[in-house]
Each structure stands twice: as structure tokens, then as C-alpha cells.
Amino acid sequence: MSQTDAATAPSSGPAPDSAVSVRNVSKNYGPVEALKNLSLEFPRGELTSLLGPSGCGKTTLLKIIAGLLQPSAGEIVIDGNTVTAPGPDRAFVFQDFALLPWASVIRNVAFGLELRGVARSEREAIAEKYIANVGLSGFENSYPHQLSGGMRQRVGLARALSVDAQVLLLDEPFSAVDEQNRRKFQEDLLELVRNENKTFIFVTHSIEEAVYVSDQIAILLPRPSRVSEIIRPSGFRNKGIENIRRDPEYLDIVDEIWASLRSYAE
């Protein structure tokens, strides 16, 4: 399997191209040890997926990076600063999109900017741009209940993009949409990673999805979780998105990850 030691946390200081460093992080919920001494580097401008058995602590790690949860031990370092709380450098796309049901699409997308005190005309111009980028032009004045699950998901993504955070945290953002939309989003996500130069941290249950969208995949062990391996799919990245799913390297990596994870399947 194509592993690289460079992607695991060094004992002193982050790798030069690392946007987020997870250093020796443990998290206990009372007697439950969710994460144990977990270290991981997230390269800047790349998409890293967290993949592992159900309940291994993927969402816990994402929330600790977001500053929504405190680690029991260890630290998260972003650009030299230890994370202590949520901050404007990170935006979270929740599993259920967390949209405001009473607000229009444009207000939902602009909401993060509204909270930051950005003037209405400016925030609506920014929101318009990202609404267009995620393919929702024409739906600015619709309300969440008027949209399909896939469209609501795009609103959540546009909101996260519009605050211009350097780190985007996505917790299974495609889990609530049908297979066709899911594939379209995966293609769109690859485009966004290429065009936005942000660091994406992506939780998924799908091996195929992780291999399709990721520059780096961190396989987590069952609870108490640590990183068992780092995989960097690379050979098929520039062969065109329509060719990835039948590329031999893609298929081999999917098989190899399944071989690693199958013993944990329920």
C-alpha cells in the first residue's frame, strides 16, 4: 500500500506544508476512550479523508479540530497556534447541513458573514458567487424546505466556502443524498479542492468516496482510535475525473483499504 511517513506527525514541529497538526490527541467521554494519542498532519491545500470503523472517533476528531470539543490530552496546531475554540480560520459543514429553516438560500449562505458583521451588500455579493459555484443560481430566494436534500447540502457547502476559512471540515456531507447526486458532488468537490486552495478534512464511511476525492486518506483504528495508516492516492489524479473509477490504481487502493477494514465490519 502506498504509505508515506512524511504524512504522519513528526515529534517536533509541523511539516512545512502542514496546515493542521494533530499532536498526541486523546479524548475520553467519561470512561469511554474515543481517541488515544492520535497524531496526524493535514497538508495545506489538500483534501484528507478520515476513514475507519463506525464509532472509531472520526466526528470526535473533526469537532476537536473545529474547537467545538476540547481534547483530554494533546493539541491541535493551526499555523503555529494551538486551537482552543472555534475560529474564523475553520468552517464546519455538518451532516444535516444545519441550515436556518426560516432564512432564504442567500441569507443562509451569507449567515457566517452576517455573524462577522460584514455589510449586507458585500456579504450578498460573496454569497451570490458561491451559490453560483455550487450550481444553485436562481434559488437565492428559495427556503430550505423548498429544496431537495442535495440542494440543501450545496447550500451548506456554499456557506462554508463564503466565510473564506482556510480549513473546511466536512462531516459526511454526502450521507443524506442519493447516489447520483453523491457522484456529482464528489466531482464538484474535486474541482473545489483544485480551485479554492483550502485544506479540506473530510469524514466519510465510503471507501470508494475516500479514494475518489482524497489526496490523503487516514485510516483510523477502532476505539480508542489512532492512525493505522496513511494512503496517498496520486497516480490517477490527472487522468480526468471520468476515468478515475476504472483506473487500476483506484481499484487496487479500494481493495486494499477494504482488506484492512473488513475485519471491523459488523
Ligand X SMILES: Nc1ncnc2c1ncn2[C@@H]1O[C@H](COP(=O)(O)OP(=O)(O)OP(=O)(O)O)[C@@H](O)[C@H]1O
Cell 472509531 appears where? 56
**Interface with ligand X (CB under 6 A), residue from 2, 24, 26, 59:** 59
Q: Any contact of residue 207 with ligand X (CB under 6 A)?
A: no
**Interface with ligand X (CB under 6 A), residue from 90, 223, 226, 232:** 223
Please state, in angstroms and rounded to a whole number, the distance separating the CA atoms of residues 257 and 239.
22
How far apart are CB 237 and ligand X at their closest, in Å? 26
Residue 60 vs 153, nearer CB to ligand X = 60
**Interface with ligand X (CB under 6 A), residue from 25, 46, 48, 57:** 57
Backbone phi and psi for residue 81, each to the nearest 5 degrees, phi listed first: -110, 135
Residue 24 vs 28, nearer CB to ligand X = 28
Q: Any contact of residue 77 with ligand X (CB under 6 A)?
A: no
Which residues lie closer than 8 Å to 263 by C-beta, 6 or more apart?
Answer: none
Give, as one character, the DSSP assignment of residue 8: S
Q: Any contact of residue 58 with ligand X (CB under 6 A)?
A: yes
**Interface with ligand X (CB under 6 A), residue from 10, 55, 222, 235:** 55
Residue 6 vs 32, nearer CB to ligand X = 32
Q: Any contact of residue 70 with ligand X (CB under 6 A)?
A: no
Residue 38 vs 168, nearer CB to ligand X = 38
Please state, in angstroms and rounded to a whole number, the distance separating the CA atoms of residues 65 and 21.
9
How far apart are CB 194 and ligand X at their closest, in Å? 27
Residue 136 vs 227, nearer CB to ligand X = 227
How far apart are CB 200 and ligand X at their closest, in Å? 17
Crossing angle between the packed helical segments 105-115 and 149-162, to the nearest 10 degrees: 30
DSSP annotation string for 165-188: -SEEEEESTTTTS-HHHHHHHHHH
Look at residue 82 and give its three-state secondary structure.
Answer: strand
Q: Any contact of residue 56 with ligand X (CB under 6 A)?
A: yes
The grid coordinates listed for 192 are: 473545489
**CA angle, 65 then 71 then 74, to 5°:** 95
How far apart are CB 58 and ligand X at their closest, in Å? 4
Q: Any contact of residue 224 with ligand X (CB under 6 A)?
A: no
> 224: cis peptide before it, omega within 30°?
yes
How far apart are CB 63 and ligand X at their closest, in Å? 8
Residue 32 vs 259, nearer CB to ligand X = 32
Q: Any contact of residue 32 with ligand X (CB under 6 A)?
A: yes
Q: Any contact of residue 222 with ligand X (CB under 6 A)?
A: no
Which residues lie closer than 8 Å to 81 by C-beta, 6 or more apart?
Answer: none
DSSP annotation string for 26-54: EEEETTEEEEEEEEEEEETT-EEEEE-ST
- Residues in the interface with ligand X (CB under 6 A) total 11
Strand-strand pairing, 47-51 and 199-203: parallel
| Residues lying near ligand X in the complex (CB under 6 A) | 29, 32, 34, 54-60, 223
